[in-house]
Amino acid sequence: MVNSHADPLPDDAVVSPRGTIVPDVGLQARALSATVVPMGLFESRDGVLSVVWVNEAFERALGYGVDGAQLLEPSVRQELERDPVRASQLAAALAAAQPFTPTFTLGRADGTRFVCEVHLAPVPTDDGSAPVHWVAAFQDMTERLSHDAEQAALVEAERRERRSLGLIAQVSDLLMDVDDPHSLREIAMLLRHGVVAWAGFFLNDRGLRAADGVDAAHLPTGRGHRHGDTRDDARVRRDAPDAVQLLLDGERDRPVEVDLDAAYPDGSASGWLAHHLASEAYRQEGGAVLPQDRRAVVYPVPGRRRVLGLLVVLPRGGGGLRGVEPSTTTVLELTARRVGLVVDNARLYDREHRLAETLQRAMLPQQAEVEGLDVWTYYAPNSENVQVGGDWYDVLQIAPDVVGVVIGDVVGHDVEAAAAMGQLRSVVRSYTFDITTPGPVLERVDQLVTGMRIPRSAGLVLSTLTRHASGWRLEYSRAGHLPVLHVRGGVATELRGAGGALIGFGGNGRSTSTVELAEGDVLVYYTDGLIERRDRGLRDGLAALAGVASRVTARDAAGIGEELLSRLADHPEDDVAVVVVRVPDPRDHLERARSPRRRRWSLPNEPGSIGRARHAVVRTCQAWEIPDAANAELVVSELVANAVLHGYGHVSLQLYDTGDGLRIEVEDGNPAPPVTTDGHPGRVGGFGMQIVERLADWGWRQSRGGKLVWAKVRPGALPPTGRG
């Protein structure tokens, strides 16, 4: 309904059949021309659109009008030819006279690009025939594309950060087992799969060596440049700084670049590294596809006080330092720092272990052999501690017919406890040789300890065994220590007499108890580590010890001790010291076949252990009446030498009397198997396992802590050399 009071109609307006005011064509054209949206009118000719009109907004956006747009039509058609899918969609829309919204990139007059969505729609004809003209609105996509690009960049940055965090987490997991010799190699492989084309670690451990399994010669280390005689190569700069050496010396803390195909002075760290990285072993290592641009990037692996090694990488696209993305740089630097910290901690911990173990071993006596008694001794530190503690024992040949036995425990598992133990051991030994009665000896020890002000409390049992015409007499005194166990005829009795306070607190004097020993009697001295557990109290532990000791079938001190250990000390939670003394029985030789014998030693990983092992085997063969001890001595010497030279951690030596020979077992912390090599004049070593093969049947197996190598020595004399 038309309002009769409305303003009069303009001259260029008409009224539609429904009463709506419709501007004429001129007004519509002016409206399209005035809009701020770039628009144009196209004419369809044989399925090809050609521009016939553009508005002012189009001219402002692109810098040209109809004529310029017509000149650019060939480039638009070429763009469509490069995108046949979009071209076919446009042709279908034109044929069906349907609206279509393609995306085009148009060139502006100033040479920049105008990315836009073109909203095409057909203009209906008066007679309803196929449309000839198409109107187009050009929507600028620059802002939206910039926003999309920013979002994509944010997503990519987040993805890189997540990848970096994931890699660092995996590296941390692998570093939890840095004692595993393959852990650094696995970390390098992780970096190769994640961020670089190739990666490898080189540790600066008494010479630069590869830590990823590739055998490489060692490079001498120390501060200063190592430019030796240079090669006759014009590319070598004699005055050029040795970048890798500067990293090793700590004079640079940022990564450096090493061209694997460049020439370096002989003897330089950079030349050594380039030579070994360019070798065939590294080119083929892991089947990795390395970039043609072989410029390696070297990161220092820092410790607390010095550089422990190098992390060397080859970027995936080459380019050296410039080819490493910032996120990749962060991952590599964090990896190098974490590896350095963990390796430094492991080395520090290992040094502490070696120092403590050396101190402990220096204070403990050798396997005791006393006249007229069968004696077996054992000591093992708790592996969870620093491998040093206050447990000790001593077996003394005071006189031809007098033997002293002492076992004690100083509170603590540190160097101070070991030092206190050493002081007490020296004091007790001195007074025992002067006064053979245990009670008065401990009284003198109380007096001296009070004056010395030893900071740790301690308990001990001191006893003397005196031989007389009818047998042996035991005299003992206890200072706050567990009772000695006396076993006779399958009955175990705790010797609780002559008890007293801890050393240094016996102000009321010390008493001495006496027990007459019979042939076959056994005395078991021990510390609480043998019987006490978190899930088993002291009383229960004493009862368990008495039960096991009463059922022991072995007929020698070593066999008895081994049975006690196997049943009670399978998982000790504290230091364990045990001394077993047995009064020989003339009937023992009749029971020899029924008494399998075993002895064990825990040796430090040092060259001196080789001699100790040989001495232990000779003594054991003599005690067990095994002939041809020289063969066994030679075999154990080679096995222990291999464990010391090529293994790490404790070296465990065990001997078994199998009835038809001697079985030797040597265990160390290196899981790598022993290898028999062919020796020749140019090689140091390589003959050890060949000697073992000639003298024994041998083999090896994995153990929980590394590997165990066994050898069963063949009876008989040394075999001939095979030469005529």
Spell out the domain ranges in the chain: 24-140, 155-351, 367-591, 596-724
Tokens 């001296």 — which residue? 448
Q: Which fold has domain 367-591?
A: Phosphatase 2c; domain 1 (3.60.40)
**What is the reported pLDDT for 289?**
52
Position with higher pLDDT, 387 vs 578: 578
The pLDDT value given to residue 367: 52
* pLDDT for 403: 93
Tell me which of 641 and 356 has the higher pLDDT.
641
> How far is residue 496's CA from residue 274's CA, in Å, rounded to a whole number?
72
Cα–Cα nearest to 500, from 528, 527, 478, 525:
478
Per-residue pLDDT at 681? 44
Task: Look at residue 677 and give its three-state secondary structure.
Answer: coil
Has residue 400 got a pLDDT over 50? Answer: yes
- Between 350-364, 388-402, 501-515, the lowest mean confidence (pLDDT) is in 350-364
Query: Residue 231: which pLDDT band, with cuts at 50, 70 and 90?
Result: very low
Say if residue 95's pLDDT is above 90: no
Taking residues 385-412, what's their average pLDDT?
A: 81
pLDDT reported for residue 314: 86
Q: What is the mean pLDDT of residues 608-631?
A: 82
Per the model's pLDDT, the better-predicted residue between 494 and 649 turns out to be 494
What gap in Å lies between CA 327 and CA 199, rounded to an integer?
Answer: 16
Model pLDDT, residue 227: 37
Query: What is the pTM for the complete model shown?
Result: 0.50
Kindly state the greatest CA–CA separation across the chain: 152
Helices (H) and strands (E) in the chain, counts: 18, 27
Contact 425, 432 (CB under 8 A): no
pLDDT tier, 580 (very low <50, low <70, confident <90, very high otherwise): very high
How far apart are the C-alpha atoms of 406 and 579, rounded to whole Å? 9
- Kindly tell me if the per-residue pLDDT of 229 is higher than 60: no
Q: Helix crossing, 688-695 with 629-646: angle to 10°? A: 150
CATH class in words for 596-724: alpha beta
Q: What is the pLDDT of residue 374?
A: 86
Which one, of 398, 397, 401, lies nearest residue 370 by Cα? Answer: 397
Mean residue pLDDT across the chain = 77
For 251-263, what is the mean pLDDT? 84
Q: Report, as an integer, the average pLDDT of 632-649.
A: 86
What is the rounded average pLDDT of the residues 486-510?
88
- What would the two tokens of residue 658 be? 């199998």
Q: Other C-beta atoms within 10 Å of 224: how many? A: 8
Res 720 pLDDT > 50: no
Strands 133-140 and 113-123: antiparallel
- 96-120 average pLDDT score: 87
Burial class from Cβ neighbours inside 10 Å (0-12, 13-18, 19+) for residue 370 reads middle
Give the pLDDT confidence score for residue 25 in this predicted structure: 62
CATH fold match for the domains 24-140 and 596-724: no
Half-sphere exposure (Cβ direction) of 298: Cα atoms closer than 13 Å: 26
SS3 for 539? helix
Question: Does the domain formed by 24-140 have CATH 1.10.10.10?
Answer: no
Higher-pLDDT residue of 446 and 507 is: 446
Q: Is the pLDDT of residue 113 over 60?
A: yes
Alpha-carbon distance of 109 to 204, in angstroms, equals: 63
- The beta-carbon contacts of 158-167 under 8 Å, at least 24 apart in sequence, are 160/325, 160/327, 161/327, 163/194, 163/195, 163/327, 164/327, 164/330, 164/331, 167/191, 167/194, 167/195, 167/331, 167/335
Report how far residue 185's alpha carbon sits from residue 216's, in angstroms, rounded to the nearest whole number. Answer: 15
- Residues 691-704 have a mean pLDDT of 79
At 36 the three-state DSSP class reads coil
- Residue 710 pLDDT exceeds 90: no
Residue with tokens 């071993």: 361
Question: What are the pLDDT digits (tens) for 378-391?
Answer: 877 665 554 566 78
Q: Is the pLDDT of residue 266 over 80?
A: no
pLDDT score of 291: 60
Q: Please give the pLDDT value at position 381.
A: 66
Share of the chain above pLDDT 70, in %: 77
Segment of 143-152, 372-381, 394-403, 530-539 carrying the highest mean pLDDT: 394-403
Looking at residue 184, its amino acid is L
User: Of all helices (H) and strands (E), which one includes residue 309?
Assistant: strand 307-314
557 or 284, which is more confident? Answer: 557
**pLDDT for 598:** 72
* pLDDT band, very low/low/confident/very high, at 218 (cuts 50, 70, 90): very low
For residues 580 and 381, is the Cβ–Cβ distance under 8 A?
no
Q: What is the pLDDT of residue 190?
A: 81
Half-sphere exposure of residue 92: CA atoms within 13 angstroms, side-chain side: 8
Q: Which of 2-16, 58-72, 152-166 has the lowest average pLDDT?
A: 2-16
Q: Does the pLDDT value for residue 232 go beyond 50?
A: no
The C-alpha angle with vertex 456 and arms to 478 and 392, in degrees rounded to 5, equals 55
Which of 90-94, 151-155, 547-551, 668-672 has the weakest average pLDDT?
151-155
546 vs 494: CA distance, rounded Å = 8
Name the more confident of 278 and 443: 443
Residue 32 tokens read as: 């399209």
Of these ranges, 161-165, 349-353, 538-542, 646-650, the one predicted with the greatest mean pLDDT is: 538-542
Written out in words, the top-level CATH class of the domain with range 155-351 is: alpha beta
Cβ pair 705, 633 in contact under 8 A: no
Q: What is the mean pLDDT of residues 205-217?
A: 56
CA atoms of 543 and 493, how far apart (whole Å): 10
Alpha helices in 243-295 (DSSP H): 243-248, 269-277, 280-283
Measured N-to-C along each axis, helices 142-175 and 183-194 cross at an angle, to the nearest 10 degrees, of 170
Q: How far is CA 43 from CA 59, 89, 133, 380, in A?
A: 19, 18, 5, 99
Taking the C-alpha atoms of residue 112 and residue 114, their distance in angstroms, rounded to an integer, is 7
C-alpha dist (Å) from residue 314 to 241, 289, 320, 550, 562? 21, 11, 7, 68, 56
On the question of pLDDT at 724 being above 50, the answer is no
Answer whether residue 594 shows pLDDT above 60. Answer: no
Stretch among 560-574, 601-615, 660-674, 676-690 having the lowest mean pLDDT? 676-690
Whether the predicted pLDDT of 34 surpasses 70: yes
**Residue 581 — pLDDT band, cuts 50, 70, 90?**
very high
Tell me the range of 153-162, 220-229, 424-433, 623-632 where mean pLDDT is highest. Answer: 424-433
How big is the CA angle at 505 (ends 504 and 506), to the nearest 5 degrees?
100
Tell which residue, 596, 589, 591, 629, has the closest CA to residue 613: 629
Kindly give the pairing relationship between strand 39-45 and strand 133-140: antiparallel
Q: Which residue has the higher pLDDT, 244 or 581?
A: 581
Distance from C-alpha of 388 to C-alpha of 361, rounded to nearest angstrom: 9
Q: Kindly tell me if the per-residue pLDDT of 440 is higher than 90.
A: yes
pLDDT confidence band for 593 (50 / 70 / 90): very low
More confident residue, 111 or 685: 111
199 in Cβ contact with 311 (< 8 Å) = yes
Higher pLDDT, 486 or 266: 486
Cα–Cα nearest to 652, from 661, 641, 640, 662:
640
The pLDDT of residue 174 is above 80: no
Rounded to whole angstroms, how far apart are CA atoms 338 and 312? Answer: 15
Least reliable range by pLDDT among 135-149, 154-168, 420-434: 154-168
Q: What is the pLDDT of residue 80?
A: 83
Rounded Cα–Cα distance for residues 142 and 11 (Å)? 42
Look up residue 95 and give its two tokens: 């044929």
CB atoms within 10 A of CB 53: 18
pLDDT at 165 over 50: yes
Rounded Cα–Cα distance for residues 664 and 636 (Å): 7
CA–CA gap between residue 595 and residue 485 (Å, rounded): 21
Least confident range from 64-73, 469-478, 480-489: namely 64-73
**Closest to 665 (Cα-Cα) out of 618, 601, 708, 609:** 708
